[in-house]
Amino acid sequence: MLEKPIRDRKAERHAATRAEILDAAWEVVRSEGLAALSLRDLAGKVGMQAPSLYSYFDSKHAIYDAMFAQGARAYLEQVRATPLTGDPLTDLRAAVRCFVRFCSEDPARYQLMFQRTIPGFEPSPETFAIAIEGLELLERRLAELGVTDARSIDLFTALGTGIAAQQISNDPGGDRWTRLVDDAVDMFFEHVTKHLPLTRRDPT
């Protein structure tokens, strides 16, 4: 008879408190902005003294790092949940719509992940690896269309973040820029395929 694994209740409480702190941090930055995050105020929101936060995060940047990781995982989940049709161009349009929607639905998360708005903050290598996984998924979609060069990939990522930035800045909650995604992807594809060797061009 197999013995039931012994629960590590202390670790469970520690993880639950970390999650509570991060939830409170998101609440602050979504209502007041990323720069408004204060360890003292954050501690008050979760009912502890500021020094007690260091039992869970060793710095404010460590909190930002954990928030970045949560955002990167959430993006991966959305990408993986986006159904594929088997048509590379159709799937690429869907991938960009997913990305722009992800960014525009949470401006604070977008700023944390895609803009350098916090002086001195960079995600840890472990956290950044999650974000790279999302980029690699996009690069595989582009490769299916024969687009593999770094210049074209840079152009494509600039296209996506540019549309997201315009939507967030100029029409929050609307769709003035998000509705342009398919047109932008098609223009990109038409541009880059002009420079592909004939043997690598999509016959359609």
- Residues 130-141: tens digit of each pLDDT: 999 999 999 999
CATH number listed for the domain at residues 1-58:
1.10.10.60
Please give the full DSSP string across 6-30, using - where no structure is assigned: PP-HHHHHHHHHHHHHHHHHHHHHH
Neighbours of 16 (CB within 10 A): 10
Domain 59-200, CATH: 1.10.357.10
Q: Tens of pLDDT along 142-193?
A: 999 889 999 999 999 999 999 999 999 999 999 999 999 999 999 999 998 8
Predicted TM-score (pTM) of the model is 0.89
**For residues 107 and 172, what is the distance between their CA atoms, to the nearest angstrom?**
9
Give span(s): CATH 1.10.10.60, the chain: 1-58
Spatial separation of the C-alpha atoms in residues 38 and 17, rounded to whole Å: 17
